[in-house]
């Protein structure tokens, strides 16, 4: 790499007011893998300084938008002024496939109490109650979720009390989320709040039993662009029984039944690790970190599952599926490599995608020159081993940590202590996540909560072949003549998960880094050696 | 079915909005602020507001939309956002260096009662707003009005902060374009230019939200009204305000502050509303209408006369913002079409009366709803009771269009799935032609796609 990352870092933070510069310097590190896999410490999950043009959103977005939104038959009502519900209406591309045309599907609806000044002054509980009743009459759902927006917490509406009352009155499950936008420092707080309430109000309510041998839940997969469909298909072909996905292409009953699984697979560690941990404690279900983004990563993930269940038949099936898929993947890889090898990418997005998608770029022969999360924590960068050393600051302290004890009747350890002791290979990531940084080349820049200023400087200095981020960054990057791939919405493409998804992604990136338009930015008369202007033609 | 739970039976709701036909104030204020050159909008509230507004505007324009936020945490929500805003000013002017920061509030900062004027004064006193730079604000509580109200409030704030009557008589007209698209603003300026009228137009998002691809990114693109231009608005001959919901506040403020008289008009969408706009400019500026504009009008008329058979009598459902809806209805009636369902979530006292007047005797049984409880769910229920031939509104209509198999022309905000609105005007005569072409295509494409084979027409 042509640039000294340390110099680039210095240059990037130089412009900031002193205190801010110091803080940003702690959120920017240059990777260096030390002995025993140690990586440098990064500051993460801390406040964004006011005035910074940030990628981040709020707790409501993380709770309603990310975690609960993808589920099709929990009826979501946003309690607040109209905006929050409007902006989270269908904008996250959570695909869903109800089993039949008559099954409930509320995903295309947007429900709000549309709070007015009157409720801000006199309280909104009465209106919320009436809205829940009206929603029930119109939709007859099994469950209603209520999401609090900023003013709700300030004026003191007790959404949980209203939920309890309406649950009683309607005879269906009703639960609330205190996911006001000011909680925490990013979407991440909302993930945690969503996890808590799903665990408290949904998980364990459906005792349906299953005969299948390999029962799993897929946690932290939201079916953007149909990713979950691809993964579901892989499970089906391997003979793995998917009980519930949290929460892409999911329904209420399956999530309520999720405690009957024997293994939790964690896809997006950031947004869902809390549920995985709590289910382990309460029901004895272990979890595995997996990643279905990238062909090699998908193969590895399937093998991890087979290794966990330690069943010869399952292992054979997994190998068959991988063997069926890999030739197509290899062919596509060879093809795109001829045009993409050696090109460079930057990824600044989310709380897991900036890590997961590095695999796909590497599979194409492309190099990662910088990466970072929008709302990750230190464990997402450095691995869960740093968890005990993470200081909880005032902004995180007020996000509830549920104390979980083993369920009196339903706690069943899925593995014997002996078997558990065998699953220590760090590669297996059994109840562990190694994080983004250990898997990156030394000398790469890792930037947490990147600002617009840093984005601009980074692109000017490195001129990457492609930049990956979200909708707010996309067109600014492209105005610089660099293609920008959205890794939240996939630019309305995908799926990118599994083997089929990997091929889609290779082709997409090949298209983007090689499109002709980037070579046509200058008009003929703007080129370096302009021809002399023609003599003016007499006009008048 | 995408909206499989929507039934024809309407149960009156008092508390629940389903599929809204409006959004909240701050996004309108952000859009208006982008229409000032070298202005960075600033959202005084939680990060999510700013993120949502930027995302929605970006999806609508497929352009960079930059704005900063006070990034409230729980502490700020309890103790007030003054410290956040002061720090924001320092960071913004140091790092992003705009000429001006336009602060708008949110439901959060309004509920806790932050006094933005006082905070701006303090920031000035502490040197956090550099000499020669500006910070203004508009109060835009999300629980009052709608996105249109937010636009109107920020437009007014531009007047109250900058417009100045110096006593000089400037031979120029103020043009308040209302909430229209960048190509509309470009078209309005073009019409004025062709009439030989100097206009000061603000906000002006042309060349901001439709900036060219050059390979060079500009945080502050070349477009936008300059502060000097807005200042000079106080010396203009008069003001033409377009769109009563979006522009009345700014027009009245100009009159009050600088004694510049105003004439409020409806958005010049369609033939007659454009006629009124051209006529108002002609009289106010004392100019003649050039043939090139009269010819353009003739071309729109010609198009209507030639293609009338495909549009007359067609029933239309519309939703969106009052200013657009009134003018669209006016245009549809002039095409002998029948706007039967008209819905806006924006409160407006003038709206229903004016739509009824525009519809006259042509659609006596039109259903019109506005403000609280007026949503797309209700409109869809009306459609289920008695269908329509055409939908006109923002992108959210595509779910109804598909379920009910109804031709759909996108107009309004936001349009998240098509691109024309960002490049082609719908104001003026040319805009009318573009709009009419879209309406015709919607009908004719359907006829081509779904009509009987033996009735398939080569010439239409």
- Does residue B70 sit at the A interface (CB-CB below 8 Å)? yes
pLDDT at B52: 98
Q: How confident is the model at residue A1 (pLDDT cuts 50, 70, 90)?
A: very low
CB neighbour list of residue A419: distance below 8 Å, 6 or more residues apart: A310
pLDDT averaged over every residue in chain A: 96
Task: Please return the burial class of B97, using the count of CB atoms within 10 Å of its CB with bins 0-12, 13-18 and 19+.
Answer: middle
Q: Is the pLDDT of residue A532 over 60?
A: yes
CB A127 within 8 A of CB B372: no
Q: How far is A525 from chain B (nearest CA, A)?
A: 13
pLDDT at A528: 67
Tell me the residue length of chain A.
540
pLDDT at A527: 78
From residue B96, alpha-carbon distances to B99, B214, B218 in Å are 10, 21, 11
| Contact assignment for A471 to B372 by CB distance below 8 Å | no
| Contact assignment for B3 to A113 by CB distance below 8 Å | no
| Contact assignment for B47 to A472 by CB distance below 8 Å | no
Specify the DSSP element, H or E, that contains A364.
none
pLDDT tens readout for residues B65-80:
999 999 999 999 999 9
Residue among A49, A138, A394 whose CB faces B75 most closely: A394
| Contact assignment for B91 to A17 by CB distance below 8 Å | yes
Residue among B4, B22, B47 whose CB faces A82 most closely: B22
Q: Positive or negative CA dihedral for A85, A87, A89, A92?
A: negative
Percent of chain A residues topping a pLDDT of 70: 97
Q: Identify the residue among B48, B88, B373, B396 best suited for mutation to test binding to A, counting A beta carbons within 10 A and taking the highest.
A: B48
Q: What is the pTM of this model?
A: 0.97
| B65: chain A residues, CB-CB within 8 Å | 472
CB A416 within 8 A of CB A287: no
Q: How far apart are CA A498 and CA B50, in angstroms?
A: 34
Q: Identify the residue among A53, A117, A484 best suited for mutation to test binding to B, counting B beta carbons within 10 A and taking the highest.
A: A53
CB B391 within 8 A of CB B411: no
For chain B, positions 82-111, list CB contacts with chain A under 8 A: 84-85, 87-92, 94-96, 106-108, 111
pLDDT tens readout for residues B182-192:
999 999 999 99
Catalytic residue from among A61, A131, A345, A497: A61
CB A447 within 8 A of CB A369: no
**Is A531 a catalytic site residue?**
no
Residue among B11, B24, B67 whose CB faces A83 most closely: B24
Residue among B68, B94, B214 whose CB faces A17 most closely: B94
**Is A497 a catalytic site residue?**
no
- Does residue B431 sit at the A interface (CB-CB below 8 Å)? no
3-state secondary structure of B264: strand
pLDDT at A248: 98
Q: How far is A510 from chain B (nearest CA, A)?
A: 20
Q: Is the pLDDT of residue B297 over 60?
A: yes
Taking only Cα atoms into account, the Rg of chain B, rounded to an integer number of angstroms, comes to 23
The terminus-to-terminus CA distance of chain B in angstroms comes to: 33
Domains and CATH numbers, chain A: 59-182 (3.40.50.1980)
Domains and CATH numbers, chain B: 25-162 (3.40.50.1980), 173-291 (3.40.50.1980), 298-454 (3.40.50.1980)
| Contact assignment for B91 to A128 by CB distance below 8 Å | no
Q: How far apart are CA B167 and CA B172, in angstroms?
A: 14
- Nearest residue on chain A to B87, alpha-carbon basis: A50
pLDDT at A43: 98
Distance of CA B178 to the CA centre of its chain: 6
Q: How confident is the model at residue A531 (pLDDT cuts 50, 70, 90)?
A: low
Helices (H), A80-186: 82-87, 117-122, 125-139, 150-155, 159-170
Nearest to B5 by CA among B408, B399, B407: B399
pLDDT at B320: 98
Q: How confident is the model at residue A484 (pLDDT cuts 50, 70, 90)?
A: very high
Q: Positive or negative CA dihedral for B205, B206, B212, B216?
A: negative
pLDDT tens readout for residues B106-118:
999 999 999 999 9
Q: Is the pLDDT of residue A540 over 60?
A: no
**Is A92 a catalytic site residue?**
yes
Q: Is the pLDDT of residue A259 over 90?
A: yes
Q: How far is B211 from chain A (nearest CA, A)?
A: 9
pLDDT at A3: 82
CB B250 within 8 A of CB B184: no
pLDDT at A347: 98
pLDDT at A530: 58
**Is A61 a catalytic site residue?**
yes
pLDDT at A333: 98
| B144: chain A residues, CB-CB within 8 Å | 116-117
Other CB atoms within 10 Å distance of the CB of residue A292: 28
Other CB atoms within 10 Å distance of the CB of residue A182: 29
Ramachandran angles phi, psi of A28, nearest 5°: -125, 120
CB A273 within 8 A of CB A258: no
CB B99 within 8 A of CB B38: yes
Q: How far is B362 from chain A (nearest CA, A)?
A: 33
Distance of CA B256 to the CA centre of its chain: 24
pLDDT tens readout for residues A285-335:
999 999 999 999 999 999 999 999 999 999 999 999 999 999 999 999 999
- Does residue B71 sit at the A interface (CB-CB below 8 Å)? yes
Q: What is the mean pLDDT of the segment spanning B133-159?
A: 98
pLDDT tens readout for residues A129-175:
999 999 999 999 999 999 999 999 999 999 999 999 999 999 999 99
Count how many pairs of residues, chain A against chain B, have C-beta atoms within 8 Å: 270
pLDDT tens readout for residues A329-386:
999 999 999 999 999 999 999 999 999 999 999 999 999 999 999 999 999 999 999 9
pLDDT tens readout for residues B42-57:
999 999 999 999 999 9
Distance of CA A408 to the CA centre of its chain: 33
């Amino acid at each position: 790499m042509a640039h000294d990352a340390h110099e680039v870092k210095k240059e990037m933070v130089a412009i900031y007011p002193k205190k801010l510069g110091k803080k940003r310097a702690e959120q920017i590190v240059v990777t260096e893998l030390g002995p025993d896999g140690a990586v440098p410490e990064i500051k993460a999950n801390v406040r964004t300084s006011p005035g910074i043009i940030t990628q981040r959103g709020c707790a409501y977005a993380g709770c309603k938008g990310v975690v609960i939104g993808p589920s099709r038959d929990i009826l979501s009502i946003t309690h607040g002024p109209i905006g929050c519900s409007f902006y989270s209406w269908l904008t996250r591309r959570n695909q869903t496939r109800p089993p039949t045309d008559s099954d409930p599907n509320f995903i295309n609806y947007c429900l709000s109490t549309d709070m007015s000044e009157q409720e801000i002054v006199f309280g909104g509980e009465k209106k919320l109650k009436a809205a829940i009743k009206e929603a029930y009459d119109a939709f007859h759902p099994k469950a209603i979720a209520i999401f609090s927006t900023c003013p709700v917490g300030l004026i003191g509406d007790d959404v949980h009390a209203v939920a309890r009352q309406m649950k009683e009155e309607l005879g269906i499950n009703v639960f609330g989320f205190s996911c006001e936008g000011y909680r925490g420092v990013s979407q991440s707080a909302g993930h945690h709040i969503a996890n808590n309430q799903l665990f408290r109000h949904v998980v364990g309510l459906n005792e349906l039993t299953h005969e299948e041998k390999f029962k799993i839940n897929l946690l932290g997969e939201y079916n953007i662009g149909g990713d979950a469909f691809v993964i579901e298909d892989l499970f089906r072909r391997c003979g793995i029984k998917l009980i519930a996905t949290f929460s892409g292409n999911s329904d209420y009953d399956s999530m309520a039944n999720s405690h009957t699984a024997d293994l939790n697979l964690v896809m997006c560690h950031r947004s869902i690790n809390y549920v995985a941990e709590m289910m382990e404690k309460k029901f004895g279900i272990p979890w595995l970190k997996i990643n279905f983004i990238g062909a090699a990563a998908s193969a590895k993930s399937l093998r991890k599952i087979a290794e966990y269940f330690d069943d010869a038949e399952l292992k054979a099936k997994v190998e068959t599926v991988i063997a069926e898929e890999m030739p197509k993947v290899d062919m596509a890889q060879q093809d795109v490599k001829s045009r993409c090898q050696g090109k460079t990418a930057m990824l600044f997005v989310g709380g897991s995608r900036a890590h997961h998608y590095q695999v796909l770029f590497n599979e194409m022969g492309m190099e990662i020159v910088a990466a970072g999360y929008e709302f990750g924590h230190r464990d997402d960068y450095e691995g869960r081993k740093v968890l005990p050393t993470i200081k909880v600051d005032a902004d995180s302290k007020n996000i509830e940590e549920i104390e979980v004890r083993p369920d009196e009747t339903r706690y069943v350890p899925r593995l014997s202590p002996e078997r558990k002791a065998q699953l220590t290979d760090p590669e297996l990531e059994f109840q562990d996540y190694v994080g983004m940084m250990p898997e990156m080349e030394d000398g790469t820049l890792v930037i947490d909560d990147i600002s617009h200023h840093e984005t601009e400087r980074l692109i000017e200095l490195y001129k990457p072949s492609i930049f990956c981020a979200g909708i707010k960054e996309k067109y600014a990057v492209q105005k610089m003549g660099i293609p920008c791939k959205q890794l939240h919405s996939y630019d309305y493409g995908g799926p990118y998960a599994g083997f089929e998804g990997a091929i889609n992604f290779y082709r997409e990136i090949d298209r983007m880094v090689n499109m002709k338009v980037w070579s046509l930015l200058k008009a003929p008369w703007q080129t370096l050696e302009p021809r002399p202007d023609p003599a003016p033609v007499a006009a008048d | 079915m995408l909206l499989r739970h929507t039934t024809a039976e309407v149960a009156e709701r008092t508390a629940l909005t389903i599929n809204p036909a409006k959004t909240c104030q701050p996004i309108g204020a952000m859009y208006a602020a982008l229409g000032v050159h070298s202005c960075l909008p600033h959202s005084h509230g939680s990060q999510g507001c700013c993120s949502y507004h930027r995302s929605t505007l970006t999806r609508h324009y497929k352009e960079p939309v930059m704005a900063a936020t006070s990034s409230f945490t729980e502490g700020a929500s309890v103790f007030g956002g003054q410290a956040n805003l002061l720090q924001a000013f320092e960071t913004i002017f140091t790092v992003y260096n705009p000429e001006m920061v336009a602060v708008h509030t949110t439901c959060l900062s309004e509920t806790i009662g932050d006094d933005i004027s006082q905070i701006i004064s303090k920031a000035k006193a502490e040197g956090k707003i550099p000499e020669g730079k500006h910070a203004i604000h508009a109060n835009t509580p999300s629980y009052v009005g709608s996105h249109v109200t937010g636009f109107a409030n920020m437009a007014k704030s531009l007047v109250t902060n900058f417009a100045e009557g110096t006593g000089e008589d400037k031979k120029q007209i103020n043009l308040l374009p209302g909430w229209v698209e960048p190509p509309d603003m470009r078209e309005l300026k073009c019409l004025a230019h062709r009439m030989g009228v100097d206009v000061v137009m603000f906000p002006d998002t042309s060349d901001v939200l439709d900036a060219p691809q050059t390979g060079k990114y500009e945080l502050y693109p070349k477009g936008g009204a300059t502060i000097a231009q807005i200042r000079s608005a106080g010396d203009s001959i008069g003001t033409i305000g377009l769109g009563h919901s979006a522009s009345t506040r700014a027009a009245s403020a100009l009159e009050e502050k600088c004694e510049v008289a105003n004439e409020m008009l409806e958005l010049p969408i369609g033939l007659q509303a454009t006629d009124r706009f051209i006529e108002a400019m002609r009289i106010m500026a004392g100019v003649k209408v050039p043939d090139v504009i009269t010819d353009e009008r003739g071309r729109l008329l010609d198009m209507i006369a030639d293609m009338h058979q495909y549009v007359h009598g067609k029933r239309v459902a519309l939703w969106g913002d009052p200013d657009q809806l009134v003018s669209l209805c006016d245009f549809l009636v002039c095409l002998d079409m029948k706007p039967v369902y008209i819905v806006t979530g924006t409160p407006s006292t003038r709206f229903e009366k004016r739509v009824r007047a525009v519809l006259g005797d042509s659609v006596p049984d039109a259903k019109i709803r506005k403000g609280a409880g007026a949503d797309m769910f209700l409109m869809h229920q009306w459609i289920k009771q008695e269908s329509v031939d055409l939908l006109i509104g923002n992108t959210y209509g595509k779910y109804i269009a598909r379920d009910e198999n109804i031709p759909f022309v996108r107009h309004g905000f936001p349009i998240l799935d098509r691109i024309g609105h960002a490049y082609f005007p719908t104001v003026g005569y040319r805009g009318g032609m573009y709009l009419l072409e879209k309406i015709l295509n919607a009908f004719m494409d359907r006829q081509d796609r779904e009509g009987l084979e033996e009735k398939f027409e080569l010439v239409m």
